[in-house]
Amino acid sequence: MLTAGLSVFEAAAESRLDSLQRIEEVVVTADRYREVIPSQRLSGKRLEALSSFSVADAIRYFAGVQLKDYGGIGGLKTVDVRSMGTNHTGVFYDGIQLGNAQNGQVDLGKFSLDNIEDISLYNGQKSEIFQPAKDFGSAGAIYLRTHRPRFAPSARANVKATLRAGSFDLANPSLLWEQKVSRSVSASLNAEYIYASGRYKFRYRKLRGDGSVAWDTTAVRQNGDVHAARVEGGFNGYIPQGKWHAKAYFYSSEKGIPGAVVNNVWKRSQRQWDENFFAQASAQKQLSERFDLMLNAKFASDRMRYLNPDTTLMYLDNTFRQQELYASAAGKYAILPQWDVSLSADYLWNTLAANLPLFAYPQRSTALAALATAVEWSRVKAQASLLGAFVFEQVTRNSAQVGKVKDKQEYTPALFLSYQPFAAATAGRLSLAPLRLRAFYKRIFRMPTFNDLYYTDVGNIALRPEYTVQYNVGLLYEAQYARGVVERVRFHADAYYSEVTDKIVAIPKGSGQFRWMMMNLGYVEIRGVDAAGSAAWRLPEGLSLATSLSYTFQKAQDFTDPTSADPRAGTYGRQIAYIPWHSGSAIANLTWRTWDLNYSFIYVGERYHNSTNTRENYEQPWYTHDLTIAKTFTLQKVKCKIAAEVNNLLNQYYDVVLNYPMPGRNYKLVLKVEV
């Protein structure tokens, strides 16, 4: 997939390093990795070179991904993979899923890239059977891996300080400290603070129904300020034939919610406070030549306060508090050298409290069990899994709902295949990594969120799970050249078809314009193609160039209501909201000695902000050009790097989400110091 510089070769190198690590007298072996469906990946220097502020910014370069961005540094940013919906994408932080039982959405804008060294996106699921049961439970998965401490032979500590400053009054200092505690244990601490006023110019343009311009003006975005602090620390260790890590994470923010620009209202007064904490630990050990064991545990506590002081709308001061407990055990057994089986069992407990009247105070217990197998035979690789989910739910306060919530159980299968039609070969200066053909089928579901079920006067406790079925066929081709201008090339293409059934949607309730209820009414069919290519080039005078391109075509149609086939006002058979037919990206990274120049481009084609595909709902294509130039140097044995970034180089005004204007041209200066 999109690798921004041929990260497949980096992945292979890292896999070899992980398979046998020596730390003085400690020897660690890891599971042999059978990759059936490769991931899209950004890591290392390629990730650092992008003009990206948060994880959400970096993920935009993956094929098949749509990012919903509500504008500015502090705006909500969620990801949708292959148009199946945000709630069908699992986000994993150092191997354990980030949860949000309240609304099912993970705001990727909260996660800085300062402590992230690898981002991977898997369609279907991670291509590995030795994993917790939860890893089998999403239609797509994003894995974020934080920086692993690495030390020079004589060093016991590493310190890296970063300072960013730029447009919108941005001030963003961060500090990473790593300490070698013993021969096999290391510790790390990362702290970051973000302040920005969020004030930027935007264009407000309104068209009449006949296409003529009603008004066209430029204004300044208001109430988009953000104050945020993040602290995370952890320990990493190795034991004979195994490894472990533990981490604690805390994030606190206060930010304005600039809101939508509608009805000539330019400024909103809503505020939001967030406090997110989790502590997690993981351990993995090879107990014998055939059996491996993995244990995971996590506790999370999230608090969110939302304030709307505008009494002309509706005064609101709501506080939500959710907690989560998670435990997992997974075992893998090698029946034969080329045949493994695994069994994993997870337990998850979620609760939500709020100061809303008549709130239900729900509690949910979820048990997951996954049986999986992986086999290699000649040039064929295959994986299959069956996930069982058992959900037990209760409400404790609202007498109208107590005793009416039904338990649920679901079984969902998946099958992944990879075939290498030709053996590996070397022809002269050309080394061929063989062509690979691949395919997968997966059926999965997502439970209704607590908001879907219990939000006062909106939720519906009778909701069923929302299902997706995915079919995918594709190919991967790689080649490496020993000499010449071209060093490596890589190309992949996938065609896919997906169905989303029992889709949970909000529909009007009664005759009240502002009264809604959640219902299982939606049915969506998605057809698409993802394609990406990347290359590394050898240039004269010590220059090196890495390039990558990605393209996505998607036809995501709403087939919910056959009676709604009116070509002027109907939704049947129409493209669903915010899904473009065409999108793509390009990255070019040029390196010369201690200089780096990085150019990136993103294109999102025409789309509609409503499944009624009419002129009034049409959204024009948008694209952005970003440019970064960086210089690395040493000052009295201190490694320094200074970078200048220009984002949205051509100052294009655009909305990712209707009436939530994005920033125009903006700048950042970055200084990094490492000791």
Q: Which pLDDT tens digit goes with each residue over 637-655?
A: 899 999 999 999 999 989 9
Q: Sorting pLDDT into bands at 50, 70 and 90, what band is 28?
A: very low
Mean local confidence (pLDDT), 196-214: 80
- Do strands 380-395 and 408-419 pair parallel, antiparallel, or not at all (unpaired)? antiparallel
Place of tokens 């992230």: 116
Is the pLDDT assigned to residue 384 strictly greater than 60?
yes
Q: Sorting pLDDT into bands at 50, 70 and 90, what band is 182?
A: very high
Q: Can you give the pLDDT at residue 402? A: 60
Is the pLDDT assigned to residue 339 strictly greater than 80?
yes
- Do strands 65-69 and 77-81 pair parallel, antiparallel, or not at all (unpaired)? antiparallel
Long-range contacts from 619-625, C-beta under 8 angstroms, 24+ separation:
619/578, 619/655, 619/658, 620/654, 621/580, 622/652, 622/654, 622/655, 622/656, 623/652, 624/648, 624/649, 624/650, 624/652, 624/654, 625/599, 625/600, 625/601, 625/649, 625/650
Q: Can you give the pLDDT at residue 237? A: 96
Q: Is 485 helix (H, G, I), strand (E, B) or coil?
A: coil
Is the pLDDT assigned to residue 1 strictly greater than 60?
no
Q: Are 297 and 281 in contact (CB under 8 A)?
A: yes
Identify the bridge partners of residue 345 per DSSP, sorted by sequence position.
Answer: 329, 369
User: What is the tens place of the pLDDT at every residue in 271-324?
Assistant: 999 999 999 999 999 999 999 999 999 999 999 999 999 877 788 899 999 999
Is the pLDDT assigned to residue 206 strictly greater than 90?
no
Q: Can you give the pLDDT at residue 261? A: 86
Output the CA angle 22-23-24, nearest 5 degrees: 105
Mean local confidence (pLDDT), 98-116: 88
CA 387 to CA 410: how far, in whole Å? 8
Say which residue, 188 or 55, is predicted with more confidence.
188
First to last CA, the chain: 35
Q: Can you give the pLDDT at residue 434? A: 77
Q: Can you give the pLDDT at residue 69? A: 85
CA 666 to CA 648: how far, in whole Å? 7
* CATH architecture for residues 7-674: Beta Barrel (2.40)
Mean local confidence (pLDDT), 85-106: 91
Q: Find the range with the poorest average confidence among 245-259, 315-329, 337-351, 423-437.
A: 423-437
CA 132 to CA 369: how far, in whole Å? 9
Q: Which letter does DSSP use for residue 35 in this model?
A: -
CA 239 to CA 276: how far, in whole Å? 31
Q: Can you give the pLDDT at residue 79? A: 87
Mean local confidence (pLDDT), 622-631: 95
Q: Is 189 helix (H, G, I), strand (E, B) or coil?
A: strand
Is the pLDDT assigned to residue 377 strictly greater than 80?
yes
User: What is the tens place of the pLDDT at every residue in 422-471?
Assistant: 877 666 556 566 789 999 999 999 999 998 888 866 778 888 899 999 99
Say which residue, 138 or 208, is predicted with more confidence.
138
What are the start-end ranges of the E strands in 124-200? 140-146, 157-166, 170-180, 185-196
Helices and strands, number each (H, E), in the chain: 4, 39
Q: Can you give the pLDDT at residue 97? A: 95
Mean local confidence (pLDDT), 543-550: 94
Mean local confidence (pLDDT), 601-607: 95
Q: Can you give the pLDDT at residue 512? A: 41
Q: Can you give the pLDDT at residue 31? A: 42
Please count the residues of the chain: 675
Select from 320, 245, 340, 279 the least CA-distant residue to 28: 245
Q: Sorting pLDDT into bands at 50, 70 and 90, what band is 508?
A: low
Mean local confidence (pLDDT), 168-197: 95
Mean local confidence (pLDDT), 366-379: 95
Mean local confidence (pLDDT), 248-253: 96
Q: Are 429 and 398 in contact (CB under 8 A)?
A: no
Q: What is the mean pLDDT of the chain?
A: 87
User: What is the tens place of the pLDDT at every residue in 553-592?
Assistant: 999 999 988 877 676 667 899 999 999 999 999 999 999 9
Is the pLDDT assigned to residue 2 strictly greater than 70?
no
Torsion sign (Cα): 176, 303, 305, 53: positive
CA 364 to CA 83: how far, in whole Å? 27
CA 89 to CA 83: how far, in whole Å? 10
Q: Can you give the pLDDT at residue 483? A: 81
CA 395 to CA 34: how far, in whole Å? 43
Is the pLDDT assigned to residue 513 strictly greater than 60?
no
Select from 415, 299, 368 the least CA-distant residue to 37: 415
Is the pLDDT assigned to residue 399 strictly greater than 70?
no
Mean local confidence (pLDDT), 236-253: 96
pLDDT > 90 fraction of the chain, expressed in percent and rounded: 59
Select from 551, 629, 132, 621 the least CA-distant residue to 370: 132
Give the number of other CB atoms < 10 A from CB of residue 239: 14
Highest mean pLDDT among 77-91, 133-147, 514-528: 133-147
Place of tokens 């020897």: 27
Q: Can you give the pLDDT at residue 388? A: 97
Mean local confidence (pLDDT), 605-630: 92
Say which residue, 52 or 361, is predicted with more confidence.
361
Q: Can you give the pLDDT at residue 454? A: 85
